[in-house]
Structure formats: C-alpha cells, structure tokens
Amino acid sequence: MKKAFITGIGSGLGKAFVNVLLKNGYSVYALSRHLPDEFNGKIKFEKVDLLSLENVYKSVDSLLRGERVIDLVFLNAGMLTPLKDIHDTPIYEMNRMMDINVWANKVILDYFIDNRIYVDQVVAVSSGASVNGNRGWHGYSISKAALNMLIKLYSREMTQTHLVALAPGLILTPMLQDFVLSADEKKFPSVKRIKNSPKMTPEEAAEKIFSLLPHLKSFESGSYVDIRKI
Ligand SMILES: NC(=O)c1ccc[n+]([C@@H]2O[C@H](COP(=O)([O-])OP(=O)(O)OC[C@H]3O[C@@H](n4cnc5c(N)ncnc54)[C@H](OP(=O)(O)O)[C@@H]3O)[C@@H](O)[C@H]2O)c1
C-alpha cells in the first residue's frame, strides 16, 4: 500500500486531496489543527498548530516513527492574511506566514533526512503569488517565494527524492473566499483578475494534481511548476 504524508487537511485543497488519496488506496498520515469527521478512523492523524514550530518535529515523529518509506509528501498547509499594502503589514504578521508556509516545511523535511526515511516525491504547494509580486500580497508572496527556494535547496541534498514547488491554480477555498475575493479590487488589481478567472473546486484541483504526480517528475527536481502552464 502506498503511503502519503500531508499537512493541512482541515479545509480546502488538503481536505479534498485526502479524499483522493484514500480513493486511490493510499495510507494517509496527516498533520493539521483540525481532523474533519469524515476521516475519523480512516487516516493517521496528529493534531498540531504549525505556528508552534517547536512542536512540529515531535508531532511528525509521533506520526511516522518506525516508517522507512513514504511515497508522497504533500506540503499543503498554508496561511494568507487579508490583502493589504506591505507598508501596512507588520513584520510579526509576515513572520507567521513565514513560519507556516516555509519554516514548518523545513522542520518536516529535516525529520525525513534525520531519520533516513526514503521519500519518493515531495510536492510543496506554492502559489503564483511567489513570482507575480502583485500589490497587496505582502508576506504571503515573500513566504511562497522563499518556499520555492527552500524546495530547490532541499533538492540538492535529497538526491534520491523528486521535489517540486507547485502553484495549484485558483481554487475556491476559504482562503481565496475570505481574503482575496472580499478584498478591495480598486486598490488591488489582481482581485478583479482573480474574480474574472476560472476557478476549480477543491475536489477538481485535488484530482488534477493527483493525476499530474507522475508528470511532475519530468521537471528537474527542485523546480517551481505552475499547473496552469503544463
Ligand atoms: N486557493 C487558492 O486559490 C490557492 C492558490 C495558490 C496556492 N494555494 C495554497 O494552497 C494551500 C491550501 O490552501 P487552501 O486554498 O486549501 O486554503 P484553506 O482552505 O485556508 O486551507 C489551509 C490549510 O492549511 C491548514 N493550516 C492553516 N494554518 C495552519 C496551522 N497553523 N497549523 C496547521 N495547519 C494549518 C488548514 O488546516 P487546519 O484547518 O487543520 O488548520 C487548512 O487545511 C496553501 O498552501 C495555499 O497557500 C491556494
């Protein structure tokens, strides 16, 4: 049975991706704050707030101790705060995005290396915001750009593993609805563009990403890949 490790399954893409993994016969190990009722008894789950970086390593250990091989690591958990100018965004707020979107993933990848767990494929969920630099995306853009580089750097060290940072396209999730679609479209032109662009449901996005997993391996390990361009 194939094994997948995933972060952030309380809502949106992560929750839908767990369903796709289960449908495809994977054994699922998940780290998140919330366990949706529908997964109770179906997956191995460790509750953790990824903002508490000091708890992340031991939570991964509780979940994976004794495992030797993980087929897929899906680093999905992410945080966006309401769009605003970077001038108006305090550093502590941007640090929170850095902790979840970047540093929690470092701790997790370090766990795999330290414990010599063979990982076949890593997909870290990035964003077009990592390269666009649109007005209002403050520390989220910075954190996702840093995530792209984090994955490239680990690809140099995890030579037996294939890694990509994947921009998943626009998905109608709480993150998009609460923080982007409700933002000021005059001040932040990307909001209007996003409103007018096609969006996937979390289920559609999860199915698409799952079906693309073999294809992602055709990119050089460590690459940033935008799903809309493949
Ligand atoms: N939606 C889009 O259009 C879009 C576009 C580009 C990239 N993305 C990326 O896609 C990924 C999934 O986001 P989404 O759109 O599905 O949004 P979402 O519904 O808000 O999901 C965020 C996920 O992250 C987890 N999470 C957040 N804070 C956490 C914390 N402190 N500790 C542990 N887990 C935490 C949540 O799980 P819990 O509920 O358990 O905390 C949830 O499953 C993110 O990395 C996001 O940046 C989304």
Residue type, 13: L
Q: Whose CA is nearest to atom 36 of ligand 1?
A: 8
Mean pLDDT of the 21-47 span: 98
Mutate to test the pocket of ligand 1, among 7, 33, 47, 60 (most ligand atoms within 8 A of CB): 33
Mutate to test the pocket of ligand 1, among 103, 147, 173, 224 (most ligand atoms within 8 A of CB): 173
Looking at the DSSP bridge assignments, the partners of residue 121 are 72, 162
> Which strands make up the sheet holding 118-125, listed edge to edge?
44-47, 27-32, 3-7, 69-75, 118-125, 162-167, 223-226
Work out the end-to-end distance of the chain between its first and last CA atoms, rounded to an integer number of angstroms: 29
Predicted pLDDT at 36:
98
47 CB under 6 A from ligand 1?
A: no
Q: Which pLDDT tens digit goes with each residue over 125-180? A: 999 999 999 999 999 999 999 999 999 999 999 999 999 999 999 999 999 999 99
Round to whole Å and give the CA distance between 27 and 55.
23
Predicted pLDDT at 174:
94
DSSP 171: B
Predicted pLDDT at 163:
99
13 CB under 6 A from ligand 1?
A: yes
- Structure confidence at residue 20 as a pLDDT band (50, 70, 90): very high
Predicted pLDDT at 37:
98
Predicted pLDDT at 29:
99
Mean pLDDT of the 3-23 span: 98
Mean pLDDT of the 192-199 span: 97
Q: Ligand 1 centroid vs 162 CA: distance in angstroms?
A: 23
Percent of the chain whose predicted confidence (pLDDT) is above 70: 100
- Structure confidence at residue 8 as a pLDDT band (50, 70, 90): very high
Residues in the chain: 230
Q: Which atom of ligand 1 approaches the CA of 140 most closely?
A: 47
pTM of the model: 0.99
Mean of per-residue pLDDT scores for the chain: 98
78 CB under 6 A from ligand 1?
A: yes
Q: Which pLDDT tens digit goes with each residue over 110-123? A: 999 999 999 999 99
Mutate to test the pocket of ligand 1, among 35, 79, 123, 199 (most ligand atoms within 8 A of CB): 79
Q: Which atom of ligand 1 approaches the CA of 10 most closely?
A: 39
Q: Ligand 1 centroid vs 175 CA: distance in angstroms?
A: 7
Check if the beta carbon of residue 14 is closer than 8 Å to that of residue 8: yes
Mean pLDDT of the 187-203 span: 97
Q: Ligand 1 centroid vs 32 CA: distance in angstroms?
A: 10
Mutate to test the pocket of ligand 1, among 35, 43, 60, 171 (most ligand atoms within 8 A of CB): 171
Task: Write the CB contacts of 54 (distance below 8 Å, at least 6 apart in sequence).
Answer: none
- C-alpha distances in angstroms, 70 versus 26, 121, 156? 11, 8, 19
Alpha helices per DSSP H over 24-84? 53-64
**What CATH number belongs to 3-170+201-229?**
3.40.50.720
Residue type, 80: L
Domain assignments of the chain as residue spans, ordered by start: 3-170+201-229
Percent of the chain whose predicted confidence (pLDDT) is above 90: 100
Q: Which pLDDT tens digit goes with each residue over 84-107? A: 999 999 999 999 999 999 999 999
